Amino acid sequence: MSACMAFAFAAGKPIAAAAAALGTTPTFSNTPVLVVALLGGFTTNGLWCLFLNLRNGTVRDYLYAPDGALAANYGFSALAGVTWYLQFFFYGMGTTKMGQYDFSSWTLHMAFIIVFSNLWGILLREWFGASRRTHALIAAGIAVLIASTLVVGYGNYLGAS
């Protein structure tokens, strides 16, 4: 699914160009692309969740939760949604600054998210109690992502020289 957002930004270049032609600063020219891309994702995910809620008989969970958990659930959901949106907002801003290296932006974006999330999980002891093999796989995965980022950077360097 995450690659679909990269495709959305690529397919949305005419929208970004139209926004720039109408006076939007280059830094924010990708923002209108988010309207189309996120609306499509929202529609698909919303319909699927509604279908699952109806099938599983859990629609009432949107209105009733024990001990005031409903407000916390909605609050954390809103916080997660805003955070999720902001990653694409800032990604769209960043791609306008990458020039001819724009092709590598999605790779760098996703690698950073995965590395940062795993390091945050380690710091907060999310992986406490996991097996040594799991810790080794996490370390290997982070190392591969860092190495791949270095390869992309080196490839960009070679392409420029």
**Residues 100-157: tens digit of each pLDDT:** 777 788 888 889 899 999 999 999 999 999 999 999 999 999 999 999 989 988 888 8
User: Is residue 71 located within the same domain as residue 129?
Assistant: no
User: Is residue 45 located within the same domain as residue 112?
Assistant: no
User: Is residue 79 located within the same domain as residue 121?
Assistant: no
**Domains held by the chain: number:** 2
Identify the pLDDT of residue 57.
94
From the number of C-beta atoms within 10 Å of its C-beta (0-12, 13-18, 19+), residue 20 rates as: middle
User: Is residue 123 located within the same domain as residue 81?
Assistant: no
User: Taking residues 20-48, what's their average pLDDT?
Assistant: 93
User: Is residue 159 located within the same domain as residue 86?
Assistant: no
DSSP state of 128: T
Contact between 106 and 37 under an 8 Å Cβ cutoff? The reply is: no
User: Is residue 80 located within the same domain as residue 93?
Assistant: yes
User: Is residue 129 located within the same domain as residue 64?
Assistant: no
pLDDT digits (tens, 9 = 90+) for 49-77: 999 999 999 999 888 887 878 988 899 99
Residue 18 structural domain: 1-97
User: Is residue 92 located within the same domain as residue 111?
Assistant: no
User: Is residue 41 located within the same domain as residue 4?
Assistant: yes
Q: Which of 52, 81, 97 is the last residue of a domain?
A: 97
CA distance 28 to 9: 13
Residues 6+ apart with CB under 8 A from 41: 4, 5
User: Is residue 153 located within the same domain as residue 124?
Assistant: yes
Identify the pLDDT of residue 77.
92
CA distance 114 to 21: 35
Residue 1 has pLDDT above 70, yes or no: no
Q: Which of 97, 129, 149 is the last residue of a domain?
A: 97
User: Taking residues 1-19, what's their average pLDDT?
Assistant: 87
Identify the pLDDT of residue 100.
79
User: Is residue 131 located within the same domain as residue 66?
Assistant: no
